[in-house]
Amino acid sequence: MNIFSKYYTSLLAILTLFALYACNDVEPVPGGKLRIEFDNVVGEKNLVLNSVTYQNAANEDFTVTKLDYFISNIKLKKANGSVYTVPQDSSYFLIKESVKASQFVTLNNVPEGDYKEIEFMVGVDSLRNTADISKRKGVLDPGGSMAEDGMYWQWNSGYIFVKLEGVSSVATSINRKFYYHIGLFGGYNERTVNNTRIVTIPFGALTAPVSETGKTPEVHLVVDLLKLFNGPGTNLSIAENVMVMGSQQEKSQQIANNYSGMFTIDHIH
Amino acid sequence: MKWQKYAACILPVCIVSVWLACSPKTAEEEVTPDKEGTTPIEWKKPAHFPDPVYDISKNPLTEEGVELGRFLFYDGILSRTNQIGCGTCHQQQAAFTHHGHELSHGVDDLLGIRNSPAVQNVAWQTSFFWDGGVHDLDLLPFNPIQNPVEMDTNVPDIIAKLKNTPDPKSKIPVNYPKMFKEAFGTDEINSERIMKALSQFMMTMVSASSKYDFYKLGDANALNAQEKEGMLLFQKNCSTCHQGELFTDQSMRNNGLMPMPGDDKGRFDITGAEQDMYKFKVPSLRNVGYTAPYMHDGRYHTLNEVLDHYTDSVQKLGTLDPLLIRADGRTGLSLTSSEKQSIIAFLRTLSDEQFISNPKLADPGIGNAL
């Protein structure tokens, strides 16, 4: 009796271990889709590239010519506290203001249930930032063009997490443009600042019900650029900072402390 | 008793779920390129070298992959103008540097800011470029490809051009889709395959057959008396930084060069850290007899000038390497002129004639040496 149960326990333990480690992909359970919309705005106004003039908290006028950012490592939390982590390889999204479709992130095979919270990273985690080239597909392909939509520093091996460019009358550059390319994942062999940010957004009274057959819930997030300029990190002045990139670690960190707060939930439909 | 009932149910469930979870595992395997039909090359490290840094198991060398990499390395198709290949600024007879060029010119003769570094023994390199900004060989080529004064293009454009080969207007009408198929199993051309082919070719650029190597491997007569004296002086004065069989410790240091008007801040531009101001990567000295001009900006044209720098011209900037500050506070090394000549004689024993004349590393006839 005793021997039998001992035997059973160890067999179970071995099998469980095997199930956990030997193969890390699990047979999919019934699931549905969940969509997240990243709706970029500037305060009360919708973001329109190259046309509308906005004003930041430092009372500086600006238009936006480009806004691109990485969202990754998405997790969804149910009312009962259980968490669904989107499979790593399917969890990198590049949101571009210039490409409407990119602002809608569809998650497939999400286990059925009522979701009450979303968590994601702004940026690309250090693991993927230092990964083998075979792990850098799709939006993570380092082969893009910096002049166009490149989100990778080829000379300094690292992804740009948030790229904001625009024009302002107070910019000191000859073309009146300002350039904010915020990246830095913590450094490969020498420590740098880490500008990835984890954002957690509870849905409050709202719920995102995922089911295999029902309507796909769409979580509508509002992304307010004014908060990138003004937040807990800094009150960013375009006149004082016409360009912030990899070599201004402290300033880029302040901006990262701002952009972690620019996401809020608006509604779910 | 109750527990055992529970366990008895769990066990079959476990077995079934393990079986279910493991059996239909094909998605990942399909991604791996089909290497059937390729001819493997065994990459061997020279006996006296340390273990390589590059993980060759992720990109095993094949005849077909190396040959594709060789064509890609030399072909100007990797540039916006179709004129500038890697081999334009990394020429074999100069140990894959840009011979005679202080700074290199890329597309439209635009001038870069740094001296083109030697491409050799990349298997052991922990970082690349004068500022060490890239840490993985497979990610290196993206840098010159997109640099506006080097190749000024991007990989999607290159892929589009490669897919359109053979091009009858090209020097040699290379059929790249066919070569990718031979190297990787299908004719798909993507960033990963381009980089891995280039890495495979660059992995074959091993320089370990100089007079010094013959001496090191047991031929006591490979070096003459002056060269041996130079070696001892080198070990005493230079080998803290230019250490080991690679002749570099791969660190970033300020060696006391007076900043030029362009004010290249070196490593600082990568890390933004004050302590990295004017630091550059310690280069390997292998083949240094072939790689003139010297320093990150090619300011010294001869090895004599380089040695004179270390004795006479080391500038006491804030980040100057402590190894170049003497006990009495003066800067630089203390060497007589005959000692310098011996060191130079030793440095020339690092010249590897086989490396610069190996036909397997040569331009297959597609390149432009400008």
pLDDT in tens, B254-279: 999 999 988 999 999 888 889 999 99
Q: Give B367 or A72, the one with higher predicted confidence.
A: A72
CA-based R_g, chain A, Å: 21
d(CA A81, CA A78): 5
The 8 Å CB, 24+ separation contacts for B207-210 are: B207/B95, B207/B120, B207/B121, B207/B286, B207/B287, B207/B352, B207/B355, B208/B46, B208/B48, B208/B49, B208/B121, B208/B245, B208/B352, B209/B352, B209/B353, B209/B354, B209/B355, B210/B286, B210/B287, B210/B349, B210/B350, B210/B351, B210/B352, B210/B355
B298 alpha-carbon distance from chain centroid = 18
Same domain as B335, residue B291: yes
Q: Give A86 or B36, the one with higher predicted confidence.
A: A86
**Nearest in space to B179 (alpha carbons), one of B77, B247, B276:** B77
Q: Which domain holds residue B180?
A: 56-206
Same domain as B297, residue B195: no
Q: Is B47 an interface residue toward A (CB < 8 Å)?
A: no
pLDDT at residue A188, as a whole number = 82
Same domain as B260, residue B339: yes
The answer to whether the CB of A48 falls within 8 A of the CB of A232 is no
Same domain as B246, residue B185: no
**DSSP calls for A34-73:** EEEEEEEEETTEEP-TTS--EE-TTS-EEEEEEEEEEEEE
What ipTM does this complex have? 0.78
Per DSSP (E only), the strands in chain B are 252-253, 280-281
Q: Is B223 an interface residue toward A (CB < 8 Å)?
A: no
**What is the pTM assigned to this prediction?**
0.84
d(CA A182, CA A245): 6
pLDDT at residue B105 greater than cutoff 60: yes
Largest CA distance in chain B: 92
pLDDT at residue A232 greater than cutoff 70: yes
Interface test mutation site (partner A, options B78, B146, B249, max chain A beta carbons within 10 A): B146
How close B5 comes to chain A (CA, Å)? 11
pLDDT at residue A150, as a whole number = 84
- A17: pLDDT confidence band, cut at 50, 70 and 90? very low
pLDDT at residue A133, as a whole number = 93
Backbone angles phi, psi at B128, to 5 degrees: -130, 155
Same domain as B256, residue B157: no
Would you say residue B26 lies in a domain? Answer: no
- What is the average pLDDT value for chain B, to the nearest integer? 90
Q: Using the beta-carbon criterion (under 8 Å), do B155 and A154 form an inter-chain contact?
A: no
Backbone angles phi, psi at B234, to 5 degrees: -60, -45
Least confident of A14-23, B115-124, B130-139: A14-23
pLDDT at residue B29, as a whole number = 40
Would you say residue B361 lies in a domain? Answer: no
pLDDT at residue A155, as a whole number = 87
Same domain as B321, residue B337: yes
Q: Is A198 an interface residue toward B (CB < 8 Å)?
A: no
Minimum-distance CB partner of B134 among A5, A27, A157: A157
Same domain as B337, residue B247: yes
- A30: pLDDT confidence band, cut at 50, 70 and 90? confident
Would you say residue B50 lies in a domain? Answer: no
Region B111-117: what's the mean pLDDT? Answer: 91
Q: Is B195 an interface residue toward A (CB < 8 Å)?
A: yes
Sequence length of chain A is 269
Q: Using the beta-carbon criterion (under 8 Å), do A25 and B25 form an inter-chain contact?
A: yes
pLDDT at residue A148, as a whole number = 63
Q: What is the pLDDT of residues A52-66, one digit of tens each?
A: 999 999 999 999 999
Would you say residue B4 lies in a domain? Answer: no
Same domain as B328, residue B201: no
Per cent of chain B over pLDDT 70 is: 90
How close B78 comes to chain A (CA, Å)? 12
The answer to whether the CB of B189 falls within 8 A of the CB of B162 is yes
pLDDT at residue A247 greater than cutoff 90: no
Same domain as B66, residue B192: yes
Largest CA distance in chain A: 85
pLDDT at residue A20 greater than cutoff 90: no
Q: What is the pLDDT of residues A186-224, one digit of tens each?
A: 988 788 899 999 999 999 999 999 999 989 999 999 999
pLDDT at residue A29, as a whole number = 66
Would you say residue B5 lies in a domain? Answer: no
d(CA B278, CA A7): 66
- B10: pLDDT confidence band, cut at 50, 70 and 90? very low
Q: Is A141 an interface residue toward B (CB < 8 Å)?
A: yes
pLDDT at residue B21, as a whole number = 42
Region B300-323: what's the mean pLDDT? Answer: 96
Least confident of A140-154, A185-199, B182-196, B266-280: A140-154
Tell me the CATH number at B147: 1.10.760.10
Same domain as B240, residue B156: no
Least confident of A166-175, A242-251, B55-64: A242-251
pLDDT at residue A28, as a whole number = 57
pLDDT at residue A37 greater than cutoff 50: yes
Other beta carbons within 10 angstroms of residue B191's beta carbon come to 23
pLDDT at residue B47 greater than cutoff 60: yes
| Residue of chain B with shortest Cα separation from A191 | B271
User: How many independent structural domains does chain B possess?
Assistant: 2
Same domain as B171, residue B215: no
Q: Is B268 an interface residue toward A (CB < 8 Å)?
A: yes
pLDDT at residue B25, as a whole number = 39
Same domain as B197, residue B65: yes
- Two structure tokens written together for A181: 């390319």
Would you say residue B6 lies in a domain? Answer: no
Q: Tell me the domain boundaries of chain A.
A: 29-268
